[in-house]
A = this chain, B = another copy of it.
Amino acid sequence: MLREERFDHIISLLKRDGKVAYDLLSAELNVSEDTIRRDIETLHSNGLLAKVRGGAILPSRNPLSFQNRTAYLTEGKDVIALKAQQFIKKGQTVFMDGGTTICAIAAHLPLDSNFRVVTNNQALIPILSKFKEIEIIVLGGVYNRNTETNTGVKTCEEVKHYVADVYFMGTCAVQSKFGITAAINEDGEVKQAMLNSSIKKIALSNTEKLDGVHSFKVCDMQEIDVLITDIPSDDSRLDAYRNLGIKLV
């Protein structure tokens, strides 16, 4: 039985009865009480239940607000988010910039993700807060209401204080010849700073953005190590990028 199955079982029992107990769960699932204890600890540290002596109960107020989720959990972004996970290893430092695709990655992370995020994306903070093992470092700067990011000279300066193992770059437009381009130059400048301070550079693009162009050039395609899209990696639409030696996922 997978650990996740036990999670499901615990949660659904909790929803049915309002409470669960270590001893009963242990007998029911044929694992030791310690294991149940650790499961409940994990679920608790992700805010899915409230731990009490002898078991767990439903959290006092559980506002499973789905309105919030829907904004960035659309088809293609789901796929990109799942594909992205494999590039994050425990203990690493990860740059994440702005955009809803980046938020989708965060929303789909495994419950026990353990790494450090350095970001200028304000919308990411409440999402990441749920993952208790993730260290969140915020890059300050001038806040932009539309993009929900902090940008400007200060932000770019801040970026230089870090070296990231991985950089997940949300993109506005990706094109094999003109490279990656942005609509807002403040955002583009942060992207350039992050490129300069990261080891593995991963660009994220859904099909609509693919082969698009904006006016502010961020970088050439060759600077990118991996391109994650919402279509199968062997799709012919990606041939131009494959020929540039970019790993496609």
Minimum distance in angstroms from A95 CB to a CB of chain B: 13
Selected A-B contacts with CB under 8 Å, 25 pairs: A2-B19, A2-B54, A4-B61, A45-B83, A46-B233, A46-B249, A47-B80, A47-B81, A47-B82, A47-B83, A47-B230, A50-B108, A50-B110, A59-B78, A62-B108, A63-B66, A64-B127, A135-B142, A136-B143, A137-B142, A138-B138, A138-B143, A154-B158, A154-B161, A158-B158
Docked complex Cα distance between A48 and B2 (Å)? 19
Chain A residues within 8 Å of B, Cβ to Cβ = 2-5, 8, 11, 19, 21, 41, 44-55, 57, 59, 61-69, 78-83, 85-86, 107-111, 120, 122, 125-127, 129-130, 132, 135-143, 145, 150, 154-155, 158, 161, 230, 232-233, 249
List residues of chain B with CB within 8 A of the CB of A66: 63-65, 68-69, 126-127, 130
- Assuming A8-B61, A65-B65, is B232 touching A46 (CB within 8 A)? yes
Contact A140 B137 (CB under 8 A): yes
> How many copies of this chain does the complex contain?
2
Contact A45 B5 (CB under 8 A): no
Which residue of chain B has the shortest Cβ distance to A54 in the bound complex? B2
Minimum distance in angstroms from A36 CB to a CB of chain B: 14
Of the candidates B3, B19, B48, B230, the one whose C-beta lies within 8 Å of that of A65 is: B48
Q: Give the 7 A-B residue pairs with the shortest CB-CB distance, closest first.
A: A140-B140, A47-B79, A136-B143, A47-B82, A138-B140, A139-B140, A47-B83
- Assuming A135-B142, A140-B140, A158-B154, is B107 touching A52 (CB within 8 A)? no
Which residue of chain B has the shortest Cβ distance to A161 in the bound complex? B154
- Assuming A63-B65, A122-B125, A140-B140, is B86 touching A45 (CB within 8 A)? yes
List residues of chain B with CB within 8 A of the CB of A55: 2
List residues of chain B with CB within 8 A of the CB of A135: 142
List residues of chain B with CB within 8 A of the CB of A50: 82, 85, 108, 110
Minimum distance in angstroms from A176 CB to a CB of chain B: 21
- Assuming A47-B83, A107-B64, is B138 touching A52 (CB within 8 A)? no
